[in-house]
Structure 1
Amino acid sequence: MSVLFVCLGNHCRSPAAHAVANSMRRNDPFLRFDSAGTGNAHVGNTPHPLAVAEGAQRGYRVDHLGRQIHPDDFVRFDLIVAMDRMNVDDLERMRGGVEQRIGYYPTVEPLQVQLLRRWDPYAMPGDEDLVDPWGQPPAAYGEMFDVIERSVPPLLAHLAWLRADRPIV
């Protein structure tokens, strides 16, 4: 199962989610994670220093080099996890002629692009977006990681359920 985490710049939220998911997957070879941005401002750059520092304090290695999503990603990844609704809109526009993937591991909806906070047990209606901490004080990066750390375990449980329910033959 391949999962791509996406935010605007691939500079704060998506590399943080990528790092948390990689850490929490416990070396499961079945899962593959990556991250990308809908924009190109941070292509080739390391994540924001405050995201790196907050991640390190929590035991995560946030060291992904930024990249922009490519149309091939809609074919390569089973699930694309967006950080906010603007990312979802951008992804649908960027998809272009690539058909919506409904593969062997469809999600419950079954849509390929989902919001991360779908798996946040504390999210209330209207809380669909993971707020972008870019340009905010350091505490915003802690809040970002709090949401990611709440959301990733249920996401991983969902992926495990998909795997158990639909074994690879």
Structure 2
Amino acid sequence: MSVSILFVCLGNICRSPTAEGVFRHLAEEAGADVTCDSAGTSNWHVGGPPDGRAVAEARRRGIDLTGLRARQVTPEDFTRFDLIYGMDRSNIAKLEALRPAGNGTPVALFLSECRGPGPGEVPDPYYEDNFAAVFDMLSEASRGLLARLA
């Protein structure tokens, strides 16, 4: 069964493109039939590449984010994707406000897919400069999601 997943953060230059890259990489390694994308709740960086610090951390871990470009989430995403994951509660609130009436696409915090207890929200590394820690969180959640989908 094929599944499509959208990862969402504020600007679509740090957390959500990293989640997309990590999840896509792990899914390909596992031979999983998934499609994924990422988007931001804001339009601040539309068309721009991921933050250079996110690109560097991903590259250090063997994942290439350079082909990704920021975009803003749209109401149509709720029909294009089977699952939508926000990185923090603010993202979830903005997604719920954008949700078309009657749409039932599941929307959840991405770290809810972690196997053990952990933080509920992915901190924004743009401000905290904690790209390695965020990468680790997103990797754990990606592994948990893949295990659940298997």
SS of aligned partner of 1:134: helix
Q: Is the counterpart of residue 156 in structure 1 residue 146 in structure 2?
A: yes
Deviation, structure 1 residue 94: 1.1
Q: Which residue number in structure 1 is paired with residue 70 of structure 2?
A: 66
- Counterparts in 2 of 1:1-150, with a 5 A limit? 1-26=3-28, 28=31, 30-63=33-66, 64-97=68-101, 99-101=103-105, 112-124=106-118, 127-137=119-129, 140-150=130-140
CA displacement at 1:121 relative to structure 2: 2.9
Structure 2: stretches of 5+ with no match in the other structure: none
Contact 1:74–1:98, Cα closer than 8 Å, also in 2: no
Secondary structure class of the residue paired with 2:127 = coil
> What RMSD in Å do the two structures reach over aligned CA positions?
1.4
- Unpaired segments ≥5 residues, structure 1: 102-111, 161-169
User: % of aligned pairs identical?
Assistant: 40
TM-score, structure 1 normalization: 0.82
Structure 1 residue 123 displacement after superposition:
3.1
Asked if the contact 1:8–1:87 (Cα under 8 Å) also holds between the matched residues in 2, the reply is: yes
Runs of 4 or more off by more than 4 Å in structure 1?
Answer: none
Distance 2:132 2:32 in 1: 29
Q: Tell me if structure 1 keeps the 8 A contact 2:11–2:41.
A: yes
Contact 1:71 1:98 survives alignment (8 Å): no
Alpha-carbon distance between aligned partners in 2 of 1:29 and 1:21, rounded to the nearest angstrom:
10
Q: Which amino acid aligns with 1:67?
A: R
Count residues in correspondence: 146
CA distance in 1, matches of 2:27, 2:103: 29
> Bigger radius of gyration, 1 or 2?
1
